[in-house]
């Protein structure tokens, strides 16, 4: 498998509106510069380097959905050895995603959810709901077994008025 998205790979691709970086990628070169329609990127915590010009001149770029922690993000967006930063990434709103797979288990980190709220895990197969599991947020990481027959899912929570709210539009599980 390739571990790097090389320089120029999708440069000036004006049909590209979003990009989800695969988990096996550890480095992103200046691959997406001048992608005028690019609005957001989903970046896994496995990415250890992003070139300062990776998203250069992406005029509509506004959001990053990141699977790591704030500390990992800060390290990832530090200036390089020439003191250059990725202005497009730094200007974007960063959403820290909470759901990931590890050792065959689903890990959910509640980050900013209120303690005591109910977290719902909706498991799907072919776009249809197969099962729902719930857990109470106590501020610690929640671990769940993935139902065998499911290929995707969503994470929701009940707010104080018992309204069902999505955690984040991009907070989807794909297996």
How far apart CA 107 and CA 101 sit, in angstroms, is 6
The C-alpha angle with vertex 109 and arms to 159 and 90, in degrees rounded to 5, equals 95
How far apart CA 95 and CA 65 sit, in angstroms, is 5
Confidence check: pLDDT of 171 > 60: no
Each residue's pLDDT tens digit, 20-31? 898 899 999 999
What pTM does this model have? 0.66
How far apart CA 139 and CA 172 sit, in angstroms, is 20
What is the pLDDT, as a whole number, of residue 162?
72
Half-sphere exposure of 8 (CA within 13 A, CB side): 0
């Amino acid at each position: 498998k390739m571990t790097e998205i090389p320089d120029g790979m999708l440069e000036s691709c004006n049909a590209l509106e979003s990009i989800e970086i695969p988990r096996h990628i550890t480095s992103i070169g200046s691959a997406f510069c001048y992608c005028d329609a690019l609005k957001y990127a989903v970046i896994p915590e496995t990415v250890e380097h992003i070139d300062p010009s990776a998203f250069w001149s992406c005029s509509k770029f506004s959001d990053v959905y990141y699977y790591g922690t704030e500390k990992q993000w800060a390290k990832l967006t530090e200036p390089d050895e020439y003191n250059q930063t990725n202005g497009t990434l730094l200007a974007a709103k960063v959403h820290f995603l909470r759901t990931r797979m590890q050792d065959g288990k689903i890990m959910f980190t509640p980050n900013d959810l209120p303690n005591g709220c109910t977290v719902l895990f909706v498991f799907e197969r072919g776009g249809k709901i197969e099962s729902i599991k719930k857990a109470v947020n106590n501020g610690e990481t929640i671990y769940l077994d993935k139902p065998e027959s499911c290929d995707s899912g969503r994470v929701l929570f009940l707010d104080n008025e018992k309204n069902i709210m999505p955690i984040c539009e991009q907070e989807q599980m794909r297996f």
